[in-house]
Amino acid sequence: MELQRAEDLVRTYADTILRLGYTWLGDLDDAKDICQEVLLKLLTDGRTFPDGGQERAWVIRVTINQCKNWRKSAWFRRRAPLEEGLHLSVELPEPEDGSLLEQVNRLPAKYRQVLYLRYYEDYEVHEIAALLGQSPALVSTHLARAKAKLRQQLGGNCYDGSP
């Protein structure tokens, strides 16, 4: 029974948690650690939810909180990516593909987060505000600024003004 529940949770939420974790932390391995923590918390918590939407919102809120805690940890703040030492021996060329994902990942975290929740998870502004503990006006501002920055990075070539 537990194994089946664990498999169902992984199938249902792992992709969402990984994407959200990557959006917050910028590192796939860190996002995988967050995913494991959130899924274990959901599996062992014993909560029941009236519907899947509330459970999904809880998973996203817990994921965001885990990412915040991860970023505040001494381990996270004091580590340096392996790539920082690579320039000492070999210069790596910058990718030149200009993909939208690459451009989104160059945005500040506050903009990446709202873009992800709005356009990948299909949350409305007021729902994003509730998830992030921000006002809807601030979320709308971040979305507008994120789209403007993307437009600028892409040379103004967005087809309809949205990512």
**pLDDT value at position 32?**
92
- The verdict on residue 89 lying in a domain is no
| Domain membership flag for residue 88 | no
d(CA 17, CA 19): 6
Domain assignment of residue 87, yes or no: no
65 and 134 both lie in a single domain: no
Domain identity same for 1 and 33: yes
What is the span of the domain harbouring residue 47? 1-77
Last residue of a domain, one of 44, 77, 110: 77
How many domains would you assign to the chain? Answer: 2
Shared domain for 31 and 60, answered yes or no, is yes
pLDDT one-digit tens code per residue, 48-107? 788 878 888 888 899 999 988 888 877 666 665 655 554 444 443 444 555 777 788 888
Whether 142 has a pLDDT exceeding 90, the answer reads yes
Whether 92 maps to a domain, the answer reads: no
pLDDT above 70 for 160: no
Q: Please tell me the least confidently modeled range out of 11-25, 61-75, 88-102, 125-139.
A: 88-102
CATH of the domain at 153: 1.10.10.10
For residue 83, being part of any structural domain is answered with: no
Contacts 24+ apart (CB under 8 A), 63-68: 63/16, 63/17, 63/20, 63/21, 63/34, 63/38, 64/20, 64/24, 64/131, 64/132, 66/21, 66/34, 66/37, 66/38, 67/20, 67/21, 67/24, 67/25, 67/34, 68/24
Domain stops at, among 32, 49, 77: 77
- Residue 82 resides in a domain: no
The answer as to whether 163 is a domain residue is no
71 within some domain? yes
User: Is 117 or 93 the better-scoring residue by pLDDT?
Assistant: 117
